């Protein structure tokens, strides 16, 4: 029951839906790429990424000093919810070019 509640809570915000839609399109991205692509402040983005991770949709990983997030549904429920998010009319921008080492990581 707790996993279900966390998953639903994670999707109960337009910004988190937009982040999830972006990662559905790109599968994986550095925090700097998500921040630039979706025009979000780092502190706001970090909070939303934590909620999506706790909700079972994302898996963080580190490459050197950079944080990446991969689309990684924890269960069949999460995969079903991701499929529903794919159907929503959400703008999915391309990854914004960033001039940091995260591009080559």
pLDDT of the residue at 94 = 86
Which structural domain, as residue segments, surrounds residue 58?
2-103
pLDDT of the residue at 93 = 85
> How many domains would you assign to the chain?
1
3-state SS, residue 29: strand
For residues 85 and 104, what is the distance between their CA atoms, to the nearest angstrom? 29
pLDDT of the residue at 99 = 55
Among 76, 81, 32, 25, which Cα is nearest to 52's? 81
On whether the CB atoms of residues 95 and 39 are closer than 8 A, the answer is: no
pLDDT of the residue at 103 = 55
pLDDT of the residue at 14 = 96
pLDDT of the residue at 1 = 74
- CATH number of the structural domain spanning residue 64: 1.10.10.10
Q: CA 96 → CA 22, 45, 69, 74, 92, distances in Å?
A: 11, 15, 16, 28, 11
Per-residue pLDDT of the chain (105 residues; tens, 9 = 90+): 788 999 999 999 999 999 999 999 999 999 999 999 999 999 999 999 999 999 999 999 998 888 999 999 999 999 999 999 999 999 888 888 775 546 554
Spatial CB neighbours of 89, under 8 Å, sequence gap ≥ 6: none
């Amino acid at each position: 029951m707790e996993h279900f509640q966390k998953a639903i809570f994670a999707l109960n915000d337009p910004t988190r839906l937009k982040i999830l839609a972006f990662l559905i399109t790109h599968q994986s991205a550095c925090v700097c790429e998500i921040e630039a692509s979706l025009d979000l402040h780092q502190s706001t983005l970090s909070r939303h990424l934590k909620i999506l991770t706790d909700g079972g949709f994302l898996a963080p990983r580190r490459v050197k000093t950079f944080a990446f997030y991969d689309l990684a549904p924890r269960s069949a429920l999460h995969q079903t919810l991701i499929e529903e998010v794919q159907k929503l009319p959400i703008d999915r921008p391309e990854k914004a070019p960033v001039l940091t080492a995260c591009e080559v990581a």
